[in-house]
Chain A
Amino acid sequence: MLVAGVDVGARNVSAVILQDGHIVASGILTLAGEGAVASREAITQALKKTAFAFADLRCVVATGCGASSVPFAHRQSAEVVCQARGTFWLLPSARTVLNLGAESSRAIRVGASGRVEAFAKNDRCAAGSGLFLETMSRVLEVPLAEMGDLSLKANGWEEVSSICAVFAESEVISHVHRGVPRERILAGVHKAVASRILETLGKVGIKSDVVATGGVAKNKAVVRELEGQIRLGITVPAEPQLVGALGAALAAQEQVARS
């Protein structure tokens, strides 16, 4: 039985193909243009790594903020539920999932059976999100993928506002003008991001094991800062950006099993 899950996020589209309960392929694309085209493309790319074609898929479940734009999906499932489902499948001891996406961060409390018990998302401001980190990457001229490592080399940090993404950007620019080393500014940026995420986490409570998913989870400095604040280790799956699509694929598998 071949099924697919597709996660249409604010920045990326990811797809996971499951065959009889095993991940056989996956793919991630940066979203450009319509969700309908990009989601099909993500699945097609993933299928190229297998001997199967699109028509072989018994069921497709879509998730993410653009889930409704996937015309070929048999059904949609909420992001929160898919993140929990995917994480629990990878790590059954997970009780708190931090989904750190491009536009929003969510904290999800998961029960012993893998069910969502409660969830919360960041308040209006973008300061805790991936898009904020992208802006900082542009302002500081440090590639997104290198920001975490560079920041960990810093000796101390420079204060950056965690209240507003726009204020934070002008603060960072003034630090740059004053000649503050980039790693110190980055350390401040990551602290600000972590403090916003912690606010969200506080709304559902922290229960071990804690798992971080989504693109921001790839930033080691943010995860390290969060670990320090909550005094607990945080597990990051090998492909944190695929967890939502994995959860959707698992939903597709359940759907086929039920029918």
Chain B
Amino acid sequence: MIEEFREYRRRRHQAAIAWKEENKGKVVGTLCCCVPEEIIHAAGMLPVRILGEHEETTEAALHFSTNLCPYCKSCFDQALKGSYDYLDGLVIPNVCNMVKAMYGFSKHLLKIPYIYFLEVPQRLSGNGVDFFSKELVRFKESLEGFSGKEISSQALRYSVRVYNENRALLRRLYDLRRRSPPLVSGSEAQELVISSMLMSKELHNWRLAQLLERIQPRNDEARQGIRLFLSASVLDDTDFLRLIEECGGMVVADDMPMGSRYFFGAVDPRGAPLHALADRYLNKIACPRKMLPQARLTFAVRMMKDSNVKGVIIHNMRACDPHLYEYPLLKEKLESEGLPVLFFRGEETETEREQQRSDIKAFVEMLEG
């Protein structure tokens, strides 16, 4: 049944086009996990996460220098090559320099009718939440202008409920993965999270709930091995998780944007929806861009310790400044807690698979003792 989710991801462009035709609705692309998709959902549109591809960024290379984020370049390359021509809208949040730059480039070079730049405060504070909820009002009004329809408070509350249900299901999935032995492998878990970023949430909730009911203990290779934590910046390359599994490691937990960071922490269903959304998307996502190293490190280490792992693999995308700034602090903290670290500086189109394989094998053998 997991195969169905993997297949959805593989056919995501056709699936989004089919959704448009069936629902006579609009598809809106998003980048990063700090875009409150609930508002797009409440507007009756389908939010889809923009992903990179394993191929040379021949078109993006004409516009971007080589030392910029390979993930963003790959996403942009796909858009330039026409893979995202079906998009009606695109929401680009103010998260890092490269994503920010994507706004101007998208306006300039892509023919997407609606492109919105979402202001996301850099620091966590009460003022930040107030600012962000005002920004979400502006975003909501902008979407209303785009669709020509009002987004009711009732619709927002319904979307919050649907998204919270998805988060609860994904948390249950992650609990099964953390067990010993895990019921779900790390690569399977990532396929399930990424498919949630692409599929209609109602459909994902329905299929994921069914999957969780049916999941059975298995005893294949991916469920035996050394328990590892994967700490990563943007990593949509599920082959990397499969590589770890091939080398005798099990990724039983993660803190990735393309993993637990997507569904961590629920939106408070009792409060005013936009304020509650601002609170969740700003305060409950622990990521290095928030410039609070101590809080983020404490959060990350607690997660790692709770998952009972023997070591941590850190995968930072080349040129991902927020994560690369944090890396030395994280490494020092983990080693002081007795958790060995293996570091990779990643690419979107990986050319060093065999080197990675030999390093992961060595790490696993080292942890086996």
Contacts and interface: CB of A to CB of B under 8 A. Distances in A.
Interface of A: 65, 76-81, 104, 115-121, 123-124
Interface stretch (B22-30, B161-169, B184-192, B359-367): B359-367
A77 B335 CA distance: 24
A123 B361 CA distance: 18
A121 B352 CA distance: 13
Contact of A119 (B335, B354, B355, B366): B366
Interface of B: 335, 340-341, 343, 345, 352, 354-355, 358-359, 361-363, 365-366, 369
B340 to A, nearest CB: 6
Given A117-B340, A118-B340, A81 B369 contact: no
A79 B369 contact: no
A81 B366 contact: yes
Given A118-B340, A121-B359, A77 B365 contact: yes
Contacts of B352: 124
Nearest to B352: A124
Contacts of B341: 118
B360 to A, nearest CB: 9
10 contacts: A65-B354, A76-B361, A78-B361, A78-B362, A79-B362, A80-B366, A115-B369, A119-B362, A120-B343, A123-B345
B366 A115 contact: yes
B365 A81 contact: yes
4 smallest beta-carbon distances between A and B, as pairs: A78-B362, A80-B362, A116-B366, A78-B365
A119 B362 CA distance: 9
Contacts of A118: 335, 340-341
Nearest to A78: B362
A79 B345 CA distance: 21
A78 B358 contact: yes
Query: Which of A78, A80, A116, A124: most chain B Cβ within 10 A?
Result: A78
Contacts of B366: 78, 80-81, 115-117, 119
A76 B355 CA distance: 16
B80 to A, nearest CB: 27
B358 A79 contact: yes
B225 to A, nearest CB: 15
A65 B358 contact: yes
Given A78-B361, A78-B362, 16 more contacts: A65-B358, A78-B366, A79-B358, A80-B362, A81-B362, A81-B366, A115-B366, A115-B369, A116-B366, A117-B340, A117-B366, A118-B335, A118-B340, A119-B363, A120-B343, A121-B359
